[in-house]
Amino acid sequence: MTLLSLEKVDVFYGDLQATFGVDLRLDAGEAIALIGANGAGKSTLLRAIMGMTAARRGAVMFDGQDITRLRCDLIARRGIAIVPEGRRLFSSLSVEENLLMGGARARPGPWTLDTVFDLFPAMREFRHHNAAELSGGQQQMVAIGRALLTNPRVLLCDELSLGLAPKVVGEIYACFAGIRDKGVSIILVEQDVVRARSASSRLYCLLKGRVTLEGASSSVTLDDISHAYFGDRRS
């Protein structure tokens, strides 16, 4: 069942058009990946879904309702949450206080401090530390936990691996199974195409604001991706 879809979405920043007629769908229970070079429009699509930069043309549909021009906080109330690029934690607050920011106006659902700590057991140990004292990987876990505490149906993840060591990235992505087990669908933006492919069931590649490849992650080859990513597909 389609839970979220973009229909011919054009997003602009002033006069600059960042995406062109993007169609995309997320089925309930799945994880999809958006890949593409810097500036391809991946974060812009997450912003359009979340209502941070509304699509000028086209539609964003969620659970059968048009949310294209809804305010960001109202979209969050309906069950979409974002883990933003760069984590954006409150550095002077503790881990627990940062997490509770997510829970402040939460929907009812399975995510509580305890279930987040079950997902990231190490977080129990550093729950009283200031966010500024944490490693990048620990901060990323807190950013994910904060988003989960809103009890979303869809989690948008923007470049979780940015600036993290490969081992840490592996630990972060290992949480996806636990998140999906609780019924949360995921859209992830990821520069690392190998990681994006392994963490998703389907993927979309963007090039200069247009979808150049869509397919099952297990069946698209790195060659397909390379052509779609760099735009040198030859027939």
Distance CA 22, CA 211 (A): 6
110 is a site residue for ligand ATP (CB under 6 A): no
Which range of residues in 41-49, 56-64, 69-77, 163-171 is near ligand ATP by CB under 6 A?
41-49
For the CB of residue 109, give the shortest distance to ligand ATP in the complex, in Å.
28
Are the C-beta atoms of 128 and 94 separated by less than 8 Å? Answer: yes
Residue closer to ligand ATP, measured from CB, 44 or 150: 44
Q: How does 163-185 read in b/e, with b if 16+ C-beta sit within 10 Å?
A: ebeeebbebbbebbeebeeeebb
Residue 44 vs 185, nearer CB to ligand ATP: 44
The answer to whether 137 contacts ligand ATP (rule: CB under 6 A) is no
Choosing from 3, 24, 41, 80, the residue that interacts with ligand ATP (CB under 6 A) is: 41
DSSP annotation of 130 reads: B
Question: Of these, 16, 114, 232, 234, which contacts ligand ATP (CB under 6 A)?
Answer: 16
84 scored as a contact of ligand ATP (CB under 6 A): no
Q: Where are the extended beta strands (E) located within 44-197? A: 57-62, 65-66, 80-83, 154-158, 185-189
Comparing CB distances to ligand ATP, the nearer of 16 and 104 is 16
Within 10 Å of residue 194's Cβ, how many Cβ atoms? 10
Total of residues contacting ligand ATP (CB under 6 A): 11
Token readout for 93 is: 């607050």
36: contact with ligand ATP by CB under 6 A? yes
Find residue 80's DSSP bridge partners.
Answer: 154
40 binds ligand ATP, rule: CB under 6 A:
yes
Q: Which residues contact ligand ATP (rule: CB under 6 A)?
A: 13, 16, 18, 36, 38-44
